[in-house]
Amino acid sequence: MMMWSNFFMQEEDRRRAAVGRRRAQGQQNLGLTPELEGKIKLVLLLATMGATLAVLSVGTEFWVEFNTYKTNGSAVCEAAHMGLWKVCIKRLWQADVPASRETCGPAELPGEANCTYFKFFTTGENAHIFQRTTKKEVNLAAAVIAVLSLTATALGCLSVIMVLSKGAEVLLRLGAVCFGLSGLLLLVSLEVFRHSVRALLQGASPDTTPAPRLTYEYSWSLGCGVGAGLILLLGGVCFLLLSLPSWHWRSLCPKRGDPTT
């Protein structure tokens, strides 16, 4: 009786040991190699830089500056700068404006500022800037596309963090798609915003007083957006390459001296 008891105990121990080995082997297969993990962290750092620039671009209002021409006999002149969410009209002292400029500005100079948020997000009203009227449909489209870009960026960051913390390598391709899509959407938003600027310049109403002559120049917020879009696209491509199986790399980049080459 004791012999049979020892036999069953030994079989139970062997079965538990086999289950433990299989479980450990499965966890090892699901884990990331140190080399792949280091590459993912490096690309994530690059994508984080792009995401930071994207948030800075979307959240600030220095996408474009509008400058009126200087007038003789006046001590002040007007300039404006706008982004996706609000516009600021500033009265600047002409003494502070560089003498080489024919127009008022730049908008970063100190002066009396009047900043208002666009009402087409709430009441649907167009904004009026220097006797010109915005085209709210185009401005709304640019803002919505920019928000979708930030949403895709957040989903991409979450997917890559899950890959690093849980070893779910299958989510790496999802993160690549999210980052690539976010960069593409941000660039599309910038292009739509450019169309809104052109629509504003052509939106002078003939019923009101003649609109002053304006010049415009794109500012640093839009530059941050362009850089963010390109960096996010690059991050998406890098994550997509890292998600490829190892045999793809061996077939694309065979070692020197390989008889198959």
What does the radius of gyration of the chain's CA atoms come to, in whole angstroms? 29
Q: Which pTM does this prediction carry?
A: 0.79
Cβ–Cβ < 8 Å for 51, 185: no
pLDDT tens per residue across span 115-158? 899 888 888 888 888 888 888 899 999 999 999 999 999 999 99
pLDDT tops 90 at residue 24: no
Give 140-151 pLDDT, tens digit per residue.
Answer: 999 999 999 999
The rounded mean pLDDT for the chain is 82
The tokens describing 151, both together, are 């949403």
CB-side neighbour CA atoms (13 Å) of 24? 6
* pLDDT higher at 156 or 109: 156
> Do 90 and 113 touch, CB atoms closer than 8 A?
yes
Q: In the prediction, which pLDDT does 76 show?
A: 86
What pLDDT is stored for residue 247 in this prediction? 47
